[in-house]
Structures are given as C-alpha cells and as structure tokens.
Amino acid sequence: MGNQKDIQHYRKEIDRIDDEILRLLNERSKSVIEIGKLKKESDAEANLHTPGREAAIVNRLTGQNTGPFPNDAIRSVYREIMSASLSLEGPQKVAYFGPAATFTHLASIKKFGTSAQYVPVNSIKDVFDEVERGHANFGVVPIENSTEGVVNYTLDMFIDSNLLIYGEVLLEVSHYLLSKTGRLEDIKTIYSHPQPIAQCRHWLETNLPLIPVSEMTSTARAAELCADDPTAAAIASELAAQLYGLKIIKARIEDNINNFTRFLILSKKAPERTGKDKTSVMLSVKDKVGALYDLLRPFASHGLNMTKIESRPSRRKAWEYLFFVDLEGHAEEEPLKKALEEVKGRCLFMKILGSYPAHS
C-alpha cells in the first residue's frame, strides 16, 4: 500500500514538472517569434534556420548536463523543440530526393525535425530545381556512402548550379527486413534498391539463399509493394515500416555495421560562421605535368586538412577533369582564405561551393 502512495506522489510531481515545462516552452516560443520578426525586418529572404545557433544551444546543454537524462536524448528533444519553433516563425519547406521513408527523408528529419514541411521529389536534379526556383528553402541530397562511395550525380549538379552547401548530415544507415506478416517463412520475393541489396548481400546469401531479390527505384517503393503482398519482403528503413504498416522480421541486416551516408543541405543563402566549419571547392587544373600537385600544395603549406578529394570529367572538354575538395576551415577566414587565393591563380577554374558547419 505504501508503494502505491509513493507512486502517486511521484506521478503528481511529474505532472507538476510537465506543467512547468509546457509553460516554459510557450515562453520560449514567444521569444522565437520575436526573433523571426526581427530577421524578416532586416532581410526578408533570410533563412530562419541557423545551424550554428542550434549547435551552440545543444552543445551548451549537453556540456552542463549532469544526468540521468542522456545527452543523446537532449539532442533529439531539442531538435524537435527547435523544429516546432521554426514552424512558428514561418514555413520551412525542405525538398529531398524521395519518396517518403527513404534514407534521404530520414536525414532530412534528423536535420530539420518533424515540424518542417517536407517535399519529396523524383530526382537529385529536381531537388536542386526546387531550391533554385524558390519552391523550397532547403534541399537534401546524398553525397557519399562509406560502403558504396561517392554519388557522382550530386557532384555533377554542382557544376552548373548556383546553390550553396548549407550544411551536412551524417546518417548511420541500418537496413531492416520488413513484411506484412513479419514471418520469415512467408517470404517468396525480396524487393529493395540496388545499394541496400549490395550492402546486405552476405546476410541474404546466408539466411535466404533461394529467395529471388528484385531491384526497385527506392527502398520506399519496395516497402509500398509489400503492403499489399504478404509473400513479399522489403529491405528498407525502420521509418518505412511505420509508414507502410509493415512488421520487422529482422533488424540491422547490413553486412558492415559501420555503414554511414553523408548528405548535403542545399540553400541559396550561406550559413553563419560557427568556428567549426568545413569548405567545399570545385577546381579545374591546367593540363600539364604536376598540375594537381601544384594546385594542392598551398593547402599543405598553410597547414590545412583536406578531408576529401574526388575527380569528375568536366563534360566540357575531353580528358579535362574537375576536382571536388573538402577542407577544414571557413573560406573567409585565415589560413584557408589565403590558400584559396593562391590556388585560384594556379587553376583554370575555381568555385567555392560553400562554407558550412561540419557535422558533429
């Protein structure tokens, strides 16, 4: 009997705290709305989303957190608080390479929360078009996977686009085997996108060697087919199970557990500096011996860390190549600013794709 009284006591205390949290959330929202008004007065086209400020809030809170509430939960809770707050300031439309429940959709939610307005489009090109035409504030596209490598089509789109990279999202990709019944023995066919199929090849050969696997245009399309066919299974995301009413047969069937995909956020506007930024640059070198070495030498001489380099045909001249380079630092701050000035004089063409907050 005493235990029941104690439980009731703590439940009343939780109710009191929840009431106070609600009051504080509304008080916080009023300040957010005022900030939104001030932003619009100074720049009507300004992005309301400010990743540097969001990162500073979360880092400050996790830094002073003494528990037992976990830091990862603080990040998740405040992502949703800030997402809901932004929706009060004005609609934040986000175009992504769809359909719904793809990993690009998951990456979008991880960045912008569930209160943003998400617009699935049919191709990476369409994501660029939606943002360039002002139909969306932001776009989200995949750029590379730790297992499958770079997404060349995304790189190619930057050649002619004036959009800037506004941020990046690193998403751990976990594949789930889903079906209507949730029973392994019911499966007669498996559907998925070619990349997840490749990333789960060993598991499939070990556990379902006789079941045919068919390629689909997306994991979401695979899940959609399974919603009406109890003998079909899909390799897709956990979100796909929720959206299409499927049951999880087996979680995390990817062969490599360290399977991450990096996504880029696209915008017409540059984000504010954060002090922990990354810069992406597109370069074209002169056709001569040692050209690439000469081009990259200023980065080394200024002590800069180059985190990635990729080459692509320029599409303008046979055997002419463009290089996509990621560097630590902001393009408007030393020593990267000085290094880029030196590099510009050594190449045929240079385009800064954006300086943006590095993933943390």
Q: Which residues are catalytic?
A: 261, 263
Structure-block tokens of residue 131: 């943002």
In 2-159, beta strands by DSSP E: 93-97, 117-121, 138-145, 149-150
User: What's the CA gap between 235 and 89, in Å, rounded?
Assistant: 38
User: What's the CA gap between 182 and 86, in Å, rounded?
Assistant: 38
Question: Euclidean distance between the first and final Cα of the chain, in Å?
Answer: 49
User: What's the CA gap between 51 and 221, in Å, rounded?
Assistant: 32
Contacts 24+ apart (CB under 8 A), 40-44: 40/90
**DSSP β-ladder status, 321-328 and 306-313:** antiparallel
Nearest residue to 132 (alpha-carbon basis) of 160, 154, 155: 160
